[in-house]
């Protein structure tokens, strides 16, 4: 490799990304996270947020934060790592409350979901083990697997036969197998077949790690996630990872599992040990959000109603709509340039919808990723459907393939 400057190394790569319509920009928001927002100076209805239950700007959470600040119960910053002086009573209570909610022995908080996934795979996957990951797992799960000392093999998306083939190979090689999967896949919106995966894990003595960032809060009894959706109970070889910035409307993440698993993370997980604890105020906000989530059956039912309304309305527009039962509703456009064109056209009509392109999704699978929230109204959804209808007539979709059926 030649000696080069930063300019020399990246200028050409940045230009190539622009030429391929893959360049990314950060939209600038001027308002709280809610359906009606001002983004980049545009007043619009937001269909990009993962705020599935509308808690990011919830008045009960705001009021609770005001109360604790007025009473000087907490500082904003935690000041140190959890293992120094950063582990506040609010963090501790939150961990206990999430554990009780999920029916597990213990929970450990992390500052981000990406950190949690790095930590769990670097800690639990050791040399001689094999990680078996769904091909469409989140980038953080892929990076965690690659940074571990274990072998890493991927199985075709949702393919339990392919997974079992790799489990048999691991058993023959006397390797500890660790199955890693999203619960709800963030770009497709489909569900991992956890009922079948859990059965395979038990049969082959594999460990199971489920990143349920998009399942917690919206699926299962009391919003307990994808395992609950399938009426499954986690065993001592199962770890669940959840983020607190989606349905919880706050920030951070957690790992839920056995006492032994959580102690192992506290003692050995470098992303946990060497990171400042998340703000105390965030723990207060999440505790209040959890109270709301437990009682949010009406919001979850409304969200399902909006999903059905959207899918029914789009069905006859000639668009390749993903077969997703969740709030994540992707429309396949294949071509990155076309996805950007559709996204910009929707913005002009007052709808903020993201164009998702490679490398976030596979080549030739660029899409609009529409996300619904219980804070949307049927009129919001109806208006979006009409906007998509007008675009389908003005800018015909170039997709030559239907969205995959699950």
CATH number at 30-53+297-394: 3.90.1150.10
Domain 59-294 belongs to what topology? Answer: 3.40.640
Domain limits, the chain: 30-53+297-394, 59-294
> Catalytic one among 138, 246, 302, 380?
246
The single residue listed with the structure tokens 């940074």 is 147
Q: Catalytic: which of 49, 186, 228, 343?
A: 186
Report the pLDDT value the prediction gives residue 395, as an integer from 0 to 100.
Answer: 73
How far is Cα 206 from Cα 3, in angstroms, rounded to an integer?
Answer: 46
Q: Catalytic site residue 338?
A: no
The pLDDT value given to residue 316: 85
Cα–Cα distance for residue pair 331/195, rounded to 1 Å: 27
pLDDT for residue 335: 87
Question: Using one digit for the tens of pLDDT, what is the confidence trace for 169-196?
Answer: 999 999 999 999 999 999 999 999 999 9
Q: Taking residues 242-252, report their average pLDDT.
A: 97
Q: Out of 58, 88, 214, 229, which one is annotated catalytic?
A: 214
Looking at residue 404, what is its pLDDT?
57
Alpha helices in 42-149 (DSSP H): 59-70, 89-102, 113-124, 139-147
Q: How large is the average pLDDT for residues 298-324?
A: 94
246 is catalytic: yes
Average pLDDT over residues 259-276: 97
The pTM assigned to this predicted structure is 0.93
> Is the predicted pLDDT of residue 331 greater than 90, yes or no?
yes
Do 255 and 116 meet the contact criterion of CB atoms below 8 Å apart?
Answer: yes
Least confident of 219-228, 351-360, 396-405: 396-405
Given a contact cutoff of 8 angstroms between Cβ atoms, the answer to whether 130 and 150 are in contact is yes
Q: Is 228 designated active site? A: no
CA neighbor of 402 nearest in space, from 312, 307, 319:
319
Residues in contact with 251: Cβ distance below 8 Å, sequence separation at least 6, in sequence order: 112, 244, 245, 278, 282
Residue 243, pLDDT above cutoff 90: yes
């Amino acid at each position: 490799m030649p000696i080069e400057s930063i300019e020399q190394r990246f200028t050409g790569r940045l230009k190539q990304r622009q030429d391929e319509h893959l360049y990314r920009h950060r939209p600038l928001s001027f308002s709280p996270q809610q359906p009606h927002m001002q983004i980049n100076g545009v007043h619009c209805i937001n269909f990009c947020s993962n705020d599935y239950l509308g808690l990011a700007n919830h008045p009960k959470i705001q009021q609770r934060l005001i109360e604790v600040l007025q009473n000087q119960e907490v500082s904003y910053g935690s000041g140190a790592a959890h293992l120094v002086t950063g582990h506040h009573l609010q963090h501790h209570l939150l961990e206990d409350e999430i554990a009780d909610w999920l029916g597990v022995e213990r929970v450990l908080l992390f500052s981000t979901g990406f950190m949690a996934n790095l930590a769990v795979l670097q800690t639990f996957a050791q040399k001689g083990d094999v990680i078996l990951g769904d091909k469409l797992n989140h980038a953080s799960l892929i990076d965690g697997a690659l940074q571990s000392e274990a072998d890493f093999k991927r199985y075709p998306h949702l393919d339990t036969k392919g997974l079992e083939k790799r489990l048999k190979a691991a058993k023959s090689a006397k390797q500890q197998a660790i199955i890693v999967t999203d619960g709800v896949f963030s770009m497709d919106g489909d569900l991992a077949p956890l009922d079948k995966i859990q059965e395979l894990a038990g049969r082959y003595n594999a460990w199971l790690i489920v990143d349920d960032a998009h399942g917690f809060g919206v699926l299962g009894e009391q919003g307990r996630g994808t395992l609950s959706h399938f009426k499954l109970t986690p065993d001592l070889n199962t770890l669940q990872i959840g983020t607190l910035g989606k349905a919880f409307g706050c920030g951070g993440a957690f790992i839920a599992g056995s006492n032994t698993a959580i102690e192992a993370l506290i003692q050995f997980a470098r992303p946990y040990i060497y990171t400042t604890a998340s703000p105390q105020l965030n723990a207060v906000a999440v505790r209040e959000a959890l109270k709301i989530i437990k009682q949010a059956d009406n919001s979850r039912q409304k969200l399902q109603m909006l999903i059905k309304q959207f899918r029914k309305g789009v069905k006859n527009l000639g668009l390749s709509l993903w077969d997703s039962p969740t709030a994540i509703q992707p429309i396949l456009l294949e071509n990155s340039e076309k996805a950007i064109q559709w996204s910009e056209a929707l913005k002009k009509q007052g709808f903020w919808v993201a164009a998702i392109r490679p490398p976030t999704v596979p080549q030739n699978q660029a899409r609009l990723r529409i996300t619904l929230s219980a804070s949307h109204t049927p009129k919001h959804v109806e208006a979006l459907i009409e906007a998509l209808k007008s675009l389908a007539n003005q800018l015909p979709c170039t997709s030559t393939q239907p969205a995959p059926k699950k």
